[in-house]
Chains A and B, each alone.
Chain A
Amino acid sequence: MLKSLRKLVLGETWAVPAGVAASLGAVIAVRAVLPPDLWSRAGGFVLVGCVVATLALSLRLRR
């Protein structure tokens, strides 16, 4: 049951949860260095880039 619950929340691979956590860390770091005005306009696309990288990594690793 616990194994099924873990699979339900985190999925079948470690790549997706690790990628989401890394993406969040990366965008928070970028947000800290960018001027607030630039961040509010472009920050979303930084997150899109991280999400795409996570997807690509998870497809490559598949475990």
Chain B
Amino acid sequence: MAAAAAAVGIEMLEALAIVLAVGAARRFSDALLGAVAAILGVVLLCLGLGPALLADADLHFLRVLIGCLLLLFGLEWLRKGVLRMAGQRRRSSSYEEFVEERDELLAADEIIDGPDWAARLVAFKGVFLEGLEVGLIVLALGGAPGKLTPALVGTGIALVLVTGIGLVLHEPLRRLPETQLKLGVGIALTAFGTFFAAEGLRVEWPFGDVALLYLATIYAALAWLAIRRMSATRKPTAAVPA
């Protein structure tokens, strides 16, 4: 549940930054319209494809599939997190993304009186892509037997928290330790991915579900070692985007 809440919350924060940027630079009504259309699209896609993909699938095959999907997400977040913490990549900041997106939109065409399709499209694209990632993470974490309810509860908690942040606008975006959060989520998703993929291949982890804790500890220790080592041999590469 905590892994789902953290992963989904971070994706939602990025979507929120885009919607706020479009709203601040153009019109909030157009930004919200694009965002709502994107959310509907993602929900329909997940409701249509999710059960069809998961129905009648072999349990072991499903665990391997879910494990590999989580490993893809987790390792990518872990890789970026280590590079960011080692100073070899720009730190993650939804606030900076908000400012960049807003400035780009302000520099674009003038706002017209009628429907602002450019603004709607930017909001739609941003929210749809982030929402698709949310959908994939929820399907992956909730697809394992008995895990759907915790994944959905975690998603609900993330939704409430991010909506709360959205209501008090962009100041809290600046204060969140996003780089550390993303590294933590990368560690959690990689641990879950390893656990499920191995169970699908009929591995019995010593101490059962406790394996998730020691797997996360192993990956956290390795990430810390990699950060230390890369920080020591740091080159100035600040221009690499987040």
B125 at the interface (CB under 8 A from A): yes
Residue in A closest to B77 when the chains form the complex, CB atoms: A11
Among candidates A13, A27, A36, A44, residue contacting B79 with C-beta atoms closer than 8 Å: A13
Question: How many chain-A residues does the 8 Å CB contact rule pick out?
Answer: 34
Query: What's the Cα separation between A20 and B73 when bound, in Å?
Result: 11
* Min CB gap A61→B, angstroms: 10
Among candidates A20, A31, A36, A52, residue contacting B222 with C-beta atoms closer than 8 Å: A52
B99 at the interface (CB under 8 A from A): no
Contact A54 B75 (CB under 8 A): yes
Contact B190 A40 (CB under 8 A): no
Contact B79 A48 (CB under 8 A): no
* Min CB gap B15→A, angstroms: 13
Among candidates A1, A17, A48, A56, residue contacting B125 with C-beta atoms closer than 8 Å: A1
Among candidates A5, A11, A52, residue contacting B76 with C-beta atoms closer than 8 Å: A11
Name the segment of B48-56, B142-150, B171-179, B204-212 touching the other chain. Answer: B204-212
- 1/0 per residue, CB under 8 A from A, across B202-240: the answer is 111110000100010011001000100010000000000
- 1/0 per residue, CB under 8 A from A, across B115-155: the answer is 00000000001000100110010000000000000000000
B83 at the interface (CB under 8 A from A): yes
* Min CB gap B193→A, angstroms: 8
* Min CB gap A34→B, angstroms: 11
Q: Is the interface of B mostly helix, strand, loop or mixed?
A: helix
Name the segment of B19-27, B32-40, B64-72, B105-113 touching the other chain. Answer: B64-72
* Min CB gap B218→A, angstroms: 7
Chain B interface size, as a band, is 35 or more
Give the contacts of B46-95 with A (CB-CB under 8 A): 64, 68, 71-72, 75-76, 78-80, 82-83
Contact B230 A31 (CB under 8 A): no
* Min CB gap B65→A, angstroms: 10
Name, among A24, A36, A43, A51, the residue most crowded by chain B CB atoms within 10 Å (CB to CB): A51
Contact A9 B136 (CB under 8 A): yes
Chain B residues near A27 (CB-CB < 8 A) = 197-198, 201
Contact B203 A40 (CB under 8 A): yes
Contact A16 B79 (CB under 8 A): yes
Task: List 14 interface pairs A-B (beta carbons < 8 Å), by A numbering.
Answer: A4-B129, A5-B129, A8-B136, A9-B72, A13-B79, A20-B68, A24-B197, A40-B202, A40-B203, A44-B194, A47-B198, A58-B75, A59-B82, A59-B83
